[in-house]
Amino acid sequence: MDTIDNMRTFLAVVRAGSFSAAARNLDTVPSVISKKINRLEDQIGTPLFIRSTRKLQLTETGERVHPRFLSIVAEVSDTFADMRDAASPMEGTLRIKCPTTLCVLHFGRIITQFQAAHPKARIDLVLMDRSVNPLEEGFDIALGAIPSSYPNVEAIPLCPYPRLMIASQTYLARAPELTHPRHLLAHDCLTFHPTGSNWVFEGDQGPVSVEIHSRFSVNDSLVLVESVLADLGVAVVAEYLARPHIARGALEVVLPEYKVPDLWISAWVPATRTQDRLVMAMCDWLARAVHPLAPWDRPVADVRDQVLAPD
């Protein structure tokens, strides 16, 4: 560390223009400054300054090492600052928006575990199913799967969000033919608001887009699944919500040869908050919780172990 201290002294002399001015700025005496510069020159093996009674100048070597010393000292200072930050407790308020069903079933548990690990942080968690611009609505993090693009907001992808088109056997037994996505025009379609009425599928011949007519629209995923269970029609829902009902035979996948494209669960963060320690710690926590498998693909205990596992 003596070498780093001597580098700092060298930089102080360059800034001040003389040994005596640097000594005043560092609250010491010129002899101490001179001793540190001499030690640095001994280590390098050549003078760094041309000393004269009129003006202090850098030698060619001094000119060459000056930018390097600036970089080294800055890197060391940043490293120690990062270490101090890492050792200090997380503090501050974090305002997070999360879709209701996603939060109640999965992300709420992950977020509360973060709160338990960082008791000095304050979390304001708002459950909301519509897409929001976090910059305009005062959120540090907006979680969701609805694709969005806002100026000065960065999307941090967390995990894929697979979807299926489903219906009950009772509905399909009485409904018109359904062997191609275009047949949906004659069906009762149930939609999640506000994803819209344009349903897109990936088939062997490429993407297929259908502008469906919604019979029933709701902004809650669980209610949407209930509407399918009530034999109201066909819906596109998250795979993890449909899976248990498919397993027990209450629902079935419709047109499995036409894949519904995955969405992505992402964290939308205002660009001004991407360097905030608390915000990025939460984003890192969420990313760890959904890798290598999303929470709906693991038992609850596995989710807890994954989040709380040491780095």
Rounded CA-CA distance 85/67 in Å is 27
296 has a pLDDT exceeding 80: no
What confidence score (pLDDT) does residue 298 get? Answer: 60
- Quick: pLDDT tens for 106-125: 999 999 999 999 999 999 99
Residues 6+ apart with CB under 8 A from 46: 59, 61
CA distances in angstroms from 150 to 125, 127, 136, 159, listed in the order given: 21, 20, 10, 20
The residue ranking higher by pLDDT, 57 or 310, is 57
Residue 86: how many other CB atoms lie within 10 Å: 9
Window from 39-53, 257-271, 285-299 with minimum mean pLDDT: 285-299
Length of the chain as a residue count: 311
Pairing type for strands 263-270 and 141-144 reads antiparallel
Q: How many CB atoms lie within 10 A of CB 133?
A: 17
Residues forming a β-bridge with 164: 237
The mean pLDDT value for 172-180 works out to: 96
- Is pLDDT at 81 greater than 80 in this prediction? no
> Is 189 exposed, middle or buried (CB count within 10 Å of its CB: 0-12, 13-18, 19+)?
buried
pTM, full prediction: 0.67
Q: Are strands 214-218 and 189-192 parallel, antiparallel or unpaired?
A: parallel
State mean pLDDT over 25-34: 89
> Where residue 84 falls among pLDDT bands split at 50, 70, 90?
low
CB atoms within 10 A of CB 247: 9
306, with CB counted inside 10 A (0-12, 13-18, 19+), is: middle
CATH label, 2-87, candidates 3.10.20.740, 3.90.25.10, 2.40.40.20, 1.10.10.10: 1.10.10.10
pLDDT of the residue at 130: 86
Q: Which of 179-188, 253-262, 282-291 has the least mean pLDDT?
A: 282-291
What was the pLDDT predicted at 199?
A: 95
| Tokens 């030690």 belong to residue | 39
CATH 3.40.190.290 maps onto the chain at 163-253
Q: Tell me the pLDDT band of 80, cut-offs 50, 70 and 90.
A: confident
Architecture of domain 163-253: 3-Layer(aba) Sandwich (3.40)
Q: In terms of Cα–Cα distance, which of 281, 306, 302 is closest to 82? A: 281
Neighbours of 100 (CB within 10 A): 16
Q: How many CB atoms lie within 10 A of CB 7?
A: 20
Domain with CATH 3.40.190.10 in the chain: 92-161+263-308
Sequence ranges of the chain with CATH classification 1.10.10.10 = 2-87
Q: Beta-carbon neighbour count of residue 213 at 10 Å?
A: 12
Q: Is the pLDDT of residue 73 over 90?
A: no
Residue 165: Cβ within 10 Å count? 23
| Residue of 217, 222, 186, 214 whose CA lies nearest to 198 | 214
For 126-150, write each residue's pLDDT tens digit. Answer: 999 888 999 999 999 999 987 777 8
CATH assignment of 92-161+263-308, given 3.40.190.10, 3.55.50.30, 3.40.50.300, 3.40.50.920?
A: 3.40.190.10
Q: Mean pLDDT throughout 174-200?
A: 92
What would the pLDDT profile of 248-280 be if each residue is shown by its tens digit? 999 999 999 999 999 889 999 999 998 898 999
